[in-house]
Every structure is written in structure tokens, then in C-alpha cells.
Structure 1
């Protein structure tokens, strides 16, 4: 940090004045106008590099609002994960513009609830479900996922008339690596004390950059990196000096689920590491370049994403340790969506790993997209913060 006196905490400026959802929709619709087919996606396992190489634009489908859940529960059980209910409700009500624009949908077998939901939406759009190997360390797992990527390519060729050479896929991988490295450099400004970037900016960048691979997003990330370096040189920062640093891990967080970030701030905490597949997790690691087998390179890289659907999920523990060492949180919050059994059960191992190997306090929170539990969440988070040693709360 600069030796000059820090300025008042900054207001978030994002990548620009427009909300990320608006900017993402403009990007998708412009690509569609230019003749690109649109592939709706839900998950970080979707091989984006293949789609971009084929001239197909990926679009993240709507999934993070409480509004369409009541409609979804006319078909789906009430005790299902809110992310799944929200996803289906948007489609049932016809209120997701990304789904409206989608020519096809690409899905993965990350959980049983999603698999059954995909069966329902397959009646509305051509849909391809990729059978995700969930024991990534087993012999044959990478080969099986490579076959799934090849089959996806065949599906997309048949439904869109687009194809891609090996060289075009290799080029998309190179661009994707460049994007991911830039994103990681941007996120590391949150490791400063105090952080130079806010959680809102990290979330906005993740939302825009996750599906966008190639030359489209790279200039924006480079511009953001320059702005952040200027902030750091000027001694500008976010939050209050000495505020408890908080890492939020667990289920995907977006839309109404970002209440957890706001509650943490209201309780006096400072979000420094929003670790989920809608945050910094999806940008970790690089693809092997110019191997002569880009399909295999994609398969190997994607299977390293440490989602709780994987077993044993040792990669998540390793990633957690790396994040704690980099961002130095005082508190780790494991955010679990109701009825997400994979993340819920895995939370026990997470708590034990943090206690045995690191110093932060650990708090498991189970919630949904409603605001009914905000008061309770604030009370629990405040209680954890109050137990922190004085040196962790005061600089």
C-alpha cells in the first residue's frame, strides 16, 4: 500500500455504470444479431472454450431470485434447493431473457435435482446433458469427461451448424488462460490490507468474465487492473481499517443470495474472498496449451474445479488453504443453500480443515433466497466477530 494517508473508503465503480446483467445481456444479444447461436449454461463445468471456438456465445441462465420460486413450486417440491426452483421458475414464467435468446442449453449432472429439472426444460429447448465424472481422481475420469466434451461438440454441430478446428479450440484456450490470469490478478487486490477492491466489483467481474472467453473481455480486465493499481498507488481502499476480514465459501451466490455479503458488512465485517463458482473459484488454474489435444486439456482443467459434487473433494481443501494464506481472513463463512446436501455434508470437513490447519473462526450458515432470516444471520455473524481477538478487529 502507499505510504500516504488512506482516503475515505471508496464507493464501488464496477467495470462501468451498467449492472453486469444488463451488460451481459447486451453482449449476448449483439452476438446473436451478428449470427452467433446462443447456448444457455448453468454451471462452471460447461466447456466455454469449445463454444467460443465454434462461434457460439454462452449465456448464464437466470437462477438467483426468490421471485419465480412460487411459480416453480407448482411443479417442483417446496423442499428443493432454491437455486433449482429459481432456475425453473424463470423458465416457466418466461422471464429470463438469456433463456429466451438461447438456441440450445448445455447442462451437467452436478446434482440429482438439476438432472430432473433438466428433463423438464428439455421440452422447451434442445438440451444436451453432460455426464460429469464425480470421482475426478479415478483412472479414466479425465478420459470420460473428454468423451463428454466431444459429444457436446457433435451436439452443437448438429443443432447450430457451427464447427471448430483443433487450432481454433487451441486459440480459445490460450485466450481463456489470459482471461483467468488477469482475473486472478484483479482479485488479489482484495488481499491488500485494507483491500483495494470490493466484493461487489469481484462479483460483477466474475459474472461478466466467467462465460466470456476470448478477446472480448480481456481489454476490460486490463483496464480494470490499471484502475486498481492506480488506487493502490494513491492509498485508496475499501471498508474500515482493522475491520474483520471475511471469506465466504460454499454454494453459488448471486442475486438475492448476496444478502449474506450485505449482512456481513452490516455486522462490521469486510468481504475479502467471495469463494464460489460465481466468485473467484472458477478462475483458478490454467489449461495446458498447445498440447495437440485441446479436448483433453479442457477435460483435465475442468475436472479440477472443486465443487462439492466431487468425491473425495480433496481439491477443495487444498484450494481453501491457498485462499486463506493469500487473503488472510479472520472468519470463514460456509454459505449453504437449503437442501443442497453435498455442500451441507461437506461443511463438516471444511470446519475441521480450518480448525486443524488454519487460524480463522468458522461459521456454517444455511439459508435460502428470502429475507426472512436476515436478522438471525446478522446476530450469528456479529456473535462470531465479537469472539475475535482484539488485534483481528482493530488495526
Structure 2
């Protein structure tokens, strides 16, 4: 959708400007030409040299540039493109656009253009939530400008979190493509049911080392957890996927943290919180070896296997469920059972303080572990919801729809 298209990327002055370097790369991967305009504020965070190296083109910084303006350069930039992208779009930039201020090259281009404009806001949550900024966003939207983000998450300032993070480069690039393909309605932000929500998801198995070449593991493929992560991202959520060792590719446009052991997975989940939703889909090993042997354990000729001193691994779902500081508004666990499915799932719901348990029978004959299909039952305080056998992608989609309904229904 972007092959042969020219995108004018305006980078304004916020810490999220560092993401714009990756954004240039993502747009060029899609065969777009990227012409970069940087404000003075943007140059406090990244350099024109870096932006120019990635765009393979000149970077424009000055309105009163004799060489560039001898043929009214700002008008050319405003008109000789297919779309203008402002990323990051600061509160100051949005305010200037609303009032038609054109006191530098970037704002002059925005005032002179007749092309689609997409803004990716990025600012402190207090600035985004300020009534003035909300009025400006509404005005720009009614003027026909497009928006992607902002997202919920941690800010650059220590201890700050909320809605204000710039959307990820892959998501912005996708939105550019949708606008140019005519799939986005001018002036209307795309209504995605989990926009502004932060989701932490675990997926796959864990490997608990015995010695340098052996480990305790299980048959989890990670297909279900990864599918949920992809579905949540497509629903507009800011997703952090904590993945154990799997052989499937990372979902596109999602932050993925790779871990090996249960302890590492727990720490990665803690690091990713706070969040609105946590979905603990990983098949975490219940036990690990008390002390990993530094060398490969050899047979001693006795015919007896070595004794392994096993210890219980941390319970990630219970740890988060019983921590009022870390616990998200919606906590979802998985119960992979081979017998007494509902009894065990209901017990887990209570013991681990989860809101929902996604229960499935993983007996060998079912082919769920490692397979492409799943049959689940959703257990909650409201009862049991039976789902038919579905592809794991369909299970993911239905689960995300249920999550969206949870947040969009009173009193949530």
C-alpha cells in the first residue's frame, strides 16, 4: 500500500522522537519515500544526521532556508506528498495547528497542505487529559485530521503512567497504509475496543535447567498466547508479550520479552506492570531443580538415574492475584487439566484471586498442546461459559471481544 508513496514525516519536540527513527525504517521497509522535517525541539532529542541516514534523503529544519525556499520549499513539501505524518505530535504542536500558527517550517507545511494528515500524539498523561488538549484533539478531528494513539503505559518521568505514550512504529505505519488505501474515515479516530488499554500476556512453556544440556519442560507451543497477543493488539491495546522458549515467530507490532525460566517470567511480568489486563496463558513449569549442575550429568554405570532435588517454582498468577499493588483490573488465568476440569479450574479461580479462568482439557488425545485448535470453558464467579472447538486464533478473538465487553459495560 505504501510502495511509491511519499510521506512527509514531521518530528516535533518530545522524548518519543527517538521512536520516529524506527518509524522511518518501517515506512521505508514498505517502499515509501520519507521526507523528514524536524522542529528545533525535535533536534534536542535526535539529530538530523540520524534521521537523514535512515531516510536516505535531506532533512528539513528551517523555514528561512535560502536554498530550500528559493522555490517556496515549504509549499512543495506540503503539496508534493501523499500524506503528512506528525510523530510525535506534542500538545504544543496540536495547539498551533488548531489556531493556524505557522511560525516554523513544520507548522507552515501543516497550514499549507491539502493532503491527509495523521497525528501520533505523545505527551505526559496530565497534558493529554487537560481539557485544552482534549478540545484541540476534538477540533483537529472535526477538521478532518486522523489520529493514532496515544497509548496507555509508563512515561519517561519516573513513576508516571497513564495515557500518553506514542503508538508503536508498526501500528503507525499500518495506519498510514489504511488511510492511503481509503480504509480510514477522515477526521474519525479508528474506534478500536481496547484503545488506551495496556495488556500483559504470558505465552509458551518455561525451561527449567537441570544441567547445561537438559531441562524440565512441557509441550506448550505458545500458539494460544501469541494469538491472544495479536488479537489484543489488533483491538488497539498496548501489548507486552512475555514469551517462554517457542519456535513460532513473534507477533508483529508487539513488544516481546523472551525468557526461559519461571523465575525470569515472573520478573518480566512484574516489570511490565501496571496494566489494565493480565492474561497468564503460559504453561509455567510447576517445579525446577534446586541447583543446576554446572556440567552435564553422566551415567555412573549403576543403572539408576541421578536424584534430582526439585523445588516449587513461583506461581505467577497467584503472585499477581494476591498483590493489590500489581494486580490489574482484569486478571485472567489458564487451567490446563487432564481430569476434573471444572473442579480444578474453579479452585484455581478462588485460590489465585483471578477474575476468569480459561479452562481446557489437555489430555494427549485432544491434541491441544502444540495443536492449532482449542476447546475452552470460561470459569468466573458468574458461572461457566462453554465454547465450541475453535481455531486458536478464533479463541483469541472471542476472548478479546469478551474483554472489551467487560470494559465497555457498566460499572467498569
Name the TM-score class by shorter chain: under 0.3
Bigger RCO of structures 1 and 2 (CA < 8 A, at least 6 apart)? 1
Larger radius of gyration: 2
Q: Which has the higher strand share?
A: 2
- TM-score, structure 1 normalization: 0.27
More helix by share: 1
TM-score (norm 2): 0.26
